Chains A and B, each alone.
Chain A
Amino acid sequence: MQRAVITGLGTISALGNNADEFWQSLIAGRCAIDVLPAMQDITIGIGARIADYDDSQYFTREDLGLLDRHSQYAIIAAREAVADAGLDVDDIDISEAAVILGTGCGGKCTDEETYDTLYKRGRKRVHPLTIPRGMPSAGASMVSKFLHTNGPAFVISTACASGAHATAQAVSMIRSGMADVVITGGADAPFTYGLMKAWEALKITSNDTCRPFSKKRSGIVLGEGAGMMVIESERHARQRGARVYAEVSGIGMSSDAGHITRPDLTGITAAMENAIRDAGIDSNNIDYINAHGTGTVLNDITETLGIKQVFGSHAFELAVSATKSMHGHALGASSAMELIATTLALYHNIIPPTVNFTDPDEECDLDYVPNHARQAVLDAAMSNSFAFGGCNAVIVLQSSSD
């Protein structure tokens, strides 16, 4: 079985337009949540938007006709990840690379533009590229088109765990020998009127800020963007002398088969246990958990309980942080951004903090690395993603030996 290693990282989010800006913001504890421009009658007042995004900086006018906003983000991050991996050079052929993209919303920006044209503006015709631009698989197709890869390309959609499930699929493909190089991660662009109204109706968004694990937490704050990684077989990476950030040693998945939004202790502990077992390590070896940590009352209590159940007394020794407090909840992209944060934490031996942390909650009694990054020797780390619909995915990363 081939081992899967991460050799390239790319991201665009409210925390920055590339992985370096993202990481520097994370370790500085910079919260990118800000007041949103007023949008009609929407009562959600804050979000983590990509500031001053200018699509013409990245794409030609002709390209943009094909690209839903989430596809744009996916391509920007994928281009960076491929360049970061040193795979964008002429003497390396990535034509057989696979593209596995996670997205919670897919082409909803395009869908909404279409509905606006038809139902609101009363037009009889919509943009001719509405179908290819808005189809749920568009992001994967566009990444493969723009990066000229001919391997398998498809989308995995499991709401907020999409990027983690995509990564799990990528790792499975590497392990089986089906692919040597997979470009994977997640992308989402949820700041549209209809989606904002839908989140508003669910009444779980905060108008304060995102404060995971704090007593005064009051809900999620939406974010946007993409996180993409190059995951390679260790053999392929070593042969070409690539820099290895970390090994993806464990993947664990489960389904709650229960409530559609409430996290389920049995489901999330199963996913964590499966990932640790898959990695072939003892749970005591995990030094850091990048939590799902949404900042809702229920998630943070349930996740804390789950960590204590899985890790026993070690739960009080390891570090847990929620980077959604800085990049917001970018839905399908979040789990990929958090994997990038976890990868860089291992690589640099620095734990990004949980910011906006004020009062402790007696039911959330772990070490959440409040407000300030911390240096620590890290050998193994875990990234949790527990999606609406009960689709859970957990990834274990380990330091590379080089």
Chain B
Amino acid sequence: MVLNKVTEIIATATGRSPEEITPDTELSSLGLGSLDTITLLFEMEEAFDITIPNEVIPEISTVNDIIEKLQQHNGEQSFD
């Protein structure tokens, strides 16, 4: 499931436990600055083998935003 995988990647990157991370969690509340967020998105792209266009990156501030962008830019692939 996308949420689980996204949560797992964020938890590993931030050293938090997955229970602390919900769809509404603001990335900034996890101590992620702009460069950290871009690095995190790169890891998402690698994990899901997709590309999130640069122009939508400013729209991402929560965990749920990441999931939305991954789904929007997933093309023909299925996550599940």
Does B2 belong to the interface (CB within 8 Å)?
no
Instruction: Find out whether the CB atom of B39 lies under 8 angstroms from the CB atom of A125.
Output: no
Contact with A along B11-55 (1 / 0, CB 8 A): 011010000000000000000000110110010010000010000
Say whether, besides A124-B51, A125-B42, A127-B42, A61 and B12 are in contact (CB < 8 Å): yes
Instruction: Find out whether the CB atom of B51 lies under 8 angstroms from the CB atom of A62.
Output: no
Instruction: Find out whether the CB atom of B39 lies under 8 angstroms from the CB atom of A128.
Output: yes
Complex Cα distance, B39 from A128, in Å, reads 6
Say whether, besides A61-B12, A61-B13, A128 and B45 are in contact (CB < 8 Å): no
Complex Cα distance, B53 from A124, in Å, reads 11
Main SS at interface, chain B: helix
Interface residue ranges of A109-150 to B (CB < 8 Å): 124-125, 127-129
- The 8 Å CB contact of B35, one of A61, A125, A128, is A128
A-side interface size class: under 10
Instruction: Find out whether the CB atom of A65 lies under 8 angstroms from the CB atom of B39.
Output: yes
Complex Cα distance, B35 from A136, in Å, reads 20
Shortest Cβ distance from residue A195 to the other chain B in the assembled complex, whole angstroms: 25
Residue of B nearest to A132 (CB): B35
Complex Cα distance, B42 from A127, in Å, reads 7
**How many A-B residue contacts, CB cutoff 8 Å?**
20
Interface residue ranges of A299-336 to B (CB < 8 Å): none
Complex Cα distance, B11 from A91, in Å, reads 37
Complex Cα distance, B39 from A129, in Å, reads 7
Instruction: Find out whether the CB atom of A125 lies under 8 angstroms from the CB atom of B13.
Output: no
Residue of A nearest to B12 (CB): A61
Contact with B along A56-72 (1 / 0, CB 8 A): 00001110010000000
List of A residues within 8 angstroms of B12 by Cβ: 61
Complex Cα distance, B12 from A145, in Å, reads 23
Interface residue ranges of A87-125 to B (CB < 8 Å): 124-125
List of B residues within 8 angstroms of A65 by Cβ: 39
Residue of B nearest to A126 (CB): B42
Complex Cα distance, B51 from A191, in Å, reads 31
Instruction: Find out whether the CB atom of A128 lies under 8 angstroms from the CB atom of B51.
Output: no
Complex Cα distance, B45 from A260, in Å, reads 44
List of A residues within 8 angstroms of B35 by Cβ: 128-129
Shortest Cβ distance from residue B53 to the other chain A in the assembled complex, whole angstroms: 10
Binding site for B on A (CB under 8 A): 60-62, 65, 124-125, 127-129
Given contact pairs A62-B15, A62-B36, a sample of 9 additional A-B residue pairs in the complex whose CB atoms are under 8 Å apart: A61-B12, A61-B13, A62-B13, A65-B39, A125-B42, A125-B51, A127-B42, A128-B35, A128-B38
Show 20 A/B contacts (Cβ-Cβ < 8 Å), sorted by A: A60-B15, A61-B12, A61-B13, A61-B15, A62-B13, A62-B15, A62-B36, A65-B39, A124-B51, A125-B42, A125-B45, A125-B51, A127-B39, A127-B42, A128-B35, A128-B38, A128-B39, A128-B42, A129-B35, A129-B39
